[in-house]
Amino acid sequence: MEELIRRCEEIVRDVSFPTVRRWKAEHPQGKAIAYFPVYAPVEVIAAAGMLPVGLRGAGDRLEIQHADARFGSFICSIVKTTLELGLTGHLAPFDGVLFSSICDSARNLCFVLKRNFPELYVDFLHLPHNPESASSRAFLRSEYARLKAELERLAGRRIEEERIREMIARYNENRRLIRALYEWRAEEPHRIRAWELYVLVRAGDVLPVEEHTALLREAREGFARRQVKPRDSIRVILESAFCEQPPLGVIRLLEDAGCYIVDEDLTLGRRWFREDVPVNGDPLQALAESYLDRSVASSVRHDWRYPRFRALLQKVRARRAQAVIFLIAKFCEPAYFDYVLFKRELERAGIPHLLLEFEEKMYTFERLQTEVETFVESLLFD
Ligand code: SF4
């Protein structure tokens, strides 16, 4: 089990994308399409015979030397490290990069990348912000059809509907396994550490879905065999790290400081749907309707039918959490906008919460550690 988790950690940390290079060597005609967080219709990319790869910046593995000149200092780190990956040749294994309408910074990065890499296929998906409108369904389906046509042009062949349905079934299976692991972790948090589940799920960003599904199954069996004693910890929900990812050390720190992380929104795109995407009928319509009706709550997706603060409160209750820790990337506007609403609702409901800020490049965690330990102690000895 430890070996499997170590392998996942290695995969996640390596910004030379060895798994993508290996896949391309095995598929000489194959193309790799990276997608920026949070969500992308990976099924359509995979159905084109391409490898969809979740791109999540470079973390602390790359010194920013060029990207600073293209962005202001008040921009989140993932935007800069993603551009730095491009400017230093790390995106060479990719034939395209896909963005979507999550925030202004991501939108700008898309077009900065496009201008700097004219030979690369760079596309921007407009995901609708009004799921209540009947037009949103037709609009999103047409947006997916446009993406499909672009991928067909790139691949030089048609993408059959049957193949998209097949991929939907494979990703459904993958997401089902992840959901089950999350459920299990919430029930027995001492058995599955949050940082382990995180690297395990995130490894799926850079692996073919079938390979990742096999890994998840192996992990499930490994976790089941594990004998671990429960610790004296408080149950917390970790919220707001849905795009830029915190250093692994921060997740470990939270657990070591006495938190059982019983749910979080890290790597949210890998478990974007609350239930399976239908595999019958028009697959693009099924993906569009699933985005509008079956998505998890997120600060980058607006749904007035079910406000995000209500989803957070429901998550707290369903997971029997005692507190919420907001872990927000520095300069992340969607997370900070929502924090104001979340805070108000948690205070109304009498649920303790703590706000922490992180950057990809953090090497010392003493201040965070003190804040978390004080918070945990205040709840344990209340
Ligand atoms: S971290 Fe926040 S601000 Fe930065 S790209 Fe992601 S959603 Fe946008």
332 Cα: distance to centroid of ligand 1 (angstroms): 5
Number of Cβ within 10 Å of residue 78's Cβ equals 26
Distance of CA 129 to the CA centre of its chain: 19
Please write the tens of the pLDDT for every residue from 182-241: 999 999 999 999 999 999 999 999 999 999 999 999 999 999 998 889 888 999 999 999
Q: What separation in Å is there between the alpha carbon of 337 and the centre of ligand 1?
A: 12
* For ligand 1, mutation pick of 55, 56, 75, 76 (most atoms within 8 Å of CB): 76
Q: Is the pLDDT of residue 382 over 80?
A: no
Structure tokens at 272: 């974007």
Q: Write down the domain spans for the chain.
A: 17-162
**298 secondary structure, DSSP code:** B
> In angstroms, what is the span from residue 228 Cα to ligand 1's centroid?
37
Residue nearest to atom 2 of ligand 1 (CA): 332
CA-based nearest residue to 145, from 134, 158, 156: 158
Single-letter amino acid, residue 196: E
Q: What is the mean pLDDT of residues 345-374?
A: 94
Q: What is the pLDDT of residue 73?
A: 87
Decide: 328 and 339 in contact? Cβ < 8 Å: yes
Q: Are 254 and 358 in contact (CB under 8 A)?
A: no
Residue to mutate (ligand 1; options 79, 338, 361; most atoms within 8 A of CB): 79
- Rounded CA-CA distance 54/97 in Å is 10
Inform me whether the pLDDT recorded for 245 exceeds 90: yes
Q: What is the pLDDT of residues 125-145, one digit of tens each?
A: 999 989 989 899 999 999 999
Read off the amino acid at residue 210. E
Asked: is 17-162 a CATH 3.40.50.11890 domain? The reply is yes
| Ligand 1: nearest atom to the Cα of 244 | 1
Q: 290 C-alpha to center of ligand 1: Å?
A: 23
What backbone torsions phi and psi does residue 61 show, to the nearest 5 degrees?
A: -95, 5
* pLDDT reported for residue 380: 87
With contact defined as beta carbons under 8 Å apart, do 297 and 265 qualify? Answer: no
Structure tokens at 309: 């603060």
Tell the residue number behind the tokens 């991928």, with chain if given.
Answer: 151
Per-residue confidence (pLDDT) for residue 373, from 0 to 100:
95
Structure tokens at 338: 């929502």
- CA angle at residue 100 from 237 to 302, to 5 degrees? 50
Pocket test for ligand 1, best of 332, 338, 339, 359 (most atoms within 8 A of CB): 332
Q: Smallest Cα–Cα separation from 243: which of 91, 79, 11, 74? A: 79
| Helices 161-187/209-225 angle, 10° precision | 20
Q: What percent of the chain has pLDDT over 70?
A: 100
Q: Which residues line ligand 1 at a C-beta cut-off of 6 Å?
A: 76, 78-79, 102-103, 105-106, 243-244, 300, 329, 332-335
SS3 labels along 129-186: CCCCCHHHHHHHHHHHHHHHHHHHHHHCCCCCHHHHHHHHHHHHHHHHHHHHHHHHHH
- pLDDT value at position 361? 85
Mean pLDDT for 365-370 is 92
Position 44 scores a pLDDT of 98
- What digits encode the pLDDT tens for the residues 307-337? 999 999 999 999 999 999 999 999 999 999 9
List the residue whose alpha carbon is closest to atom 6 of ligand 1: 243
For residue 69, the model assigns a pLDDT of 87
Q: Mean per-residue pLDDT for 87-114? A: 96
CA–CA dist 310, 322 (Å, integer): 16
Q: Give residue 1's pLDDT.
A: 86
The mean per-residue pLDDT over the stretch 64-72 comes to: 88
Q: CA of 74: how far to CAs of 62, 79, 87, 105, 285, in Å?
A: 19, 11, 20, 10, 38
CA max distance for the chain: 64
- Over 90: is that where the pLDDT of 381 sits? no
Q: What is the pLDDT of residues 268-310, one digit of tens each?
A: 999 999 999 999 999 999 999 999 999 999 999 999 898 999 9
Of the CA atoms within 13 Å of residue 355, those in its CB half-sphere come to: 11
Give the span between the Cα atoms of 167 and 151, in whole angstroms.
15
What is the whole-number distance in angstroms between the Cα of residue 370 and the centre of ligand 1?
26
Average pLDDT, the chain: 95
Cα(226) to ligand 1 centroid in Å equals 37
pLDDT in tens, 37-63: 999 999 999 999 999 999 999 988 898
Per-residue pLDDT, 362 = 82
0.75 exceeded by the pTM? yes
